[in-house]
Structure 1
């Protein structure tokens, strides 16, 4: 079965929100293929622990819990994260139950980590051509050397430093591999030959999820963020995908709005970290 054989055509927000959550679930499960990872589907939640000390790679999602027993259930679900001492996120989408789950997570020792807008775009509305920026080019990551550059730029773009990149995270990205036949694909932007921007896409649940959009601080405000966002979406459209989704940071919201993304929900996260 080809990647493009299950394309979501429904454009109503309830359908898109469900697919957005499913896309993230499939992405996290895909990331859990690395050695030592744990992932499981329960009747009332989904959990994945990669073991990488990055909260977004150790998560609980799609919660449907009984409020009468929820505090005990949360403690049960948290046990493997606490045993492995890895930071984690508990995701709350609009369909999460109970609706007041956040109150119980706080009582259980998790901290509110904020809310981000979930945004969606019909890819038929994506501009036909990428913005033209002098000296700027975009390539797909298809080698170990390009992946090393992608990791380096992404770390700095998201407020880190190249010297502090966790070797475990590097091995994690290497384990995911690269290639046009995979559902997860990375893109690298260069300005006058220097790697300056990153993005990635995950093709799952019938839609295209946009991730890891970042540019180096010194090249922001030149349209590079727009171009590096559009490149993977254009690839998804060429494969026959109809819907693109993302979770927008405050810095990226205006960029995505200009491309044509529209907010369709708010997505909350709660954080637990080892002391």
Structure 2
């Protein structure tokens, strides 16, 4: 996959939202290159499953289904996820069809998983600097040791158990590799030498998608989240990208507004998990 896709110029929110969904789709398809993953593009949806028991790595997106046959289609789409017994998400963006898809997903046994904010920023408007944080530095992940630290910090930051990180998730991240020539690049923040924060960026669909922004609990409240977010976006800007996008949880919203992101839409997710 090349990072030289047509770069999105300044556009209205409608165009950005379409690019945001396509960026996420390209990212999921990119992640599906790992052994054992399955991904396909149908006429009315895109689906991917890595087999790793994290809902965000097993998804249905780009949905444009006929309401007359929607219940049967949902049942068909769910077959591979249920067969592999992995939790999964349906992503509902503003242009998803039918507009009341959530109603049918509930009838099919899925649960509403909440809403996230779709956010965007013109990279030319990024702050040139943020208030300095004593002892804090950022590096790009460029070797196996740094990647292992990145995986450890990211897992804990997102609520995982430090003593029991899923080995399949470790293999997944290792399989994606590292390198400045790849569309997926990770960044690691250190406080007084200790790895405490992560972020990553995926360059696709003409925009820069920001992902995996996390900080260890003991290092929060110092502005580290904003600073670790700024680093990959600055890299994307230097490569000629104009627009940054992300999906923010309500708790992360203030981090992104702090560096200039603006809300452009609401994105819903519905969850299925094996009993």
- Name the stretch that deviates more: 3-12 or 183-192: 3-12
In the alignment, which residue of structure 2 is the partner of 1:243? 243
Contact 1:130 1:231 in 2 (8 A): no
- Name the stretch that deviates more: 131-140 or 13-22: 131-140
In the alignment, which residue of structure 2 is the partner of 1:205? 205
In the alignment, which residue of structure 1 is the partner of 2:152? 152
Shift of the alpha carbon at 1:241?
A: 0.4
In the alignment, which residue of structure 2 is the partner of 1:71? 71
In the alignment, which residue of structure 2 is the partner of 1:115? 115
Shift of the alpha carbon at 1:130?
A: 4.6
In the alignment, which residue of structure 2 is the partner of 1:59? 59
Stretches of structure 2 that go unaligned for 5 or more consecutive residues are none
In the alignment, which residue of structure 2 is the partner of 1:272? 272
Q: What is the alpha-carbon distance in structure 1 between the residues aligned to residue 200 and residue 51 of structure 2?
A: 21
Aligned-residue CA RMSD (Å) = 1.1
In the alignment, which residue of structure 2 is the partner of 1:46? 46
In the alignment, which residue of structure 2 is the partner of 1:101? 101
Stretches of structure 1 that go unaligned for 5 or more consecutive residues are none
Contact 2:23 2:209 in 1 (8 A): yes
Contact 2:208 2:241 in 1 (8 A): yes
Contact 1:131 1:226 in 2 (8 A): no
In the alignment, which residue of structure 2 is the partner of 1:15? 15
Q: What is the alpha-carbon distance in structure 2 between the residues aligned to residue 106 and residue 158 of structure 1?
A: 26
Shift of the alpha carbon at 1:31?
A: 0.2
Shift of the alpha carbon at 1:221?
A: 1.1
Q: What is the alpha-carbon distance in structure 2 between the residues aligned to residue 64 and residue 2 of structure 1?
A: 27
Q: TM-score when scaled to structure 1?
A: 0.98
